[in-house]
């Protein structure tokens, strides 16, 4: 599902909001999540899952095209862990 498909889906179910309102809500939600992760905060949405930032240490790697060794710098990466309820809903047979 793309962002625009998400907006369409929510707009169709929330008839009291315009599509433009829904776009603003979705954008604000994603921006808030990104800002919280940038600050190093953990986000937990009950029944869905949690987002947090994990630190990856610096390491040596290899350029797959040339085979040349390169240095990969340390970085922070977003990580999502699905909640129990989401896992159960995904595994319900159709």
Average pLDDT score over residue span 16-33: 94
Pair 53, 37: CB distance under 8 Å = yes
Q: Which of 65, 40, 71 is nearest to 54 (CA)?
A: 40
Q: What is the pTM of this model?
A: 0.77
DSSP per-residue letters across 8-70 = HHHHHH-TTS-HHHHHHHHHHHHHHHHHHHHTT--EEETTTEEEEEEEE--EEEE-TTT--EE
- Residue 39 pLDDT exceeds 90: yes
Average pLDDT score over residue span 43-51: 95
- Residue 69 pLDDT exceeds 80: yes
Token pair for 3: 């962002």
Average pLDDT score over residue span 61-69: 92
pLDDT at residue 74, as a whole number:
95
């Amino acid at each position: 599902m793309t962002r625009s498909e998400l907006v369409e889906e929510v707009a169709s179910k929330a008839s009291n909001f315009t599509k433009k309102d829904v776009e603003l809500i979705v954008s604000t939600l994603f921006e808030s999540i990104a800002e919280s992760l940038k600050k190093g905060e953990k986000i937990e949405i009950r029944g869905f899952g949690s987002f947090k930032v994990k630190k990856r240490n610096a390491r040596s790697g290899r350029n797959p095209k040339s085979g040349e060794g390169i240095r990969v710098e340390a970085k922070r990466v977003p990580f999502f862990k699905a909640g129990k309820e989401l896992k159960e809903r995904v595994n319900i047979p159709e």
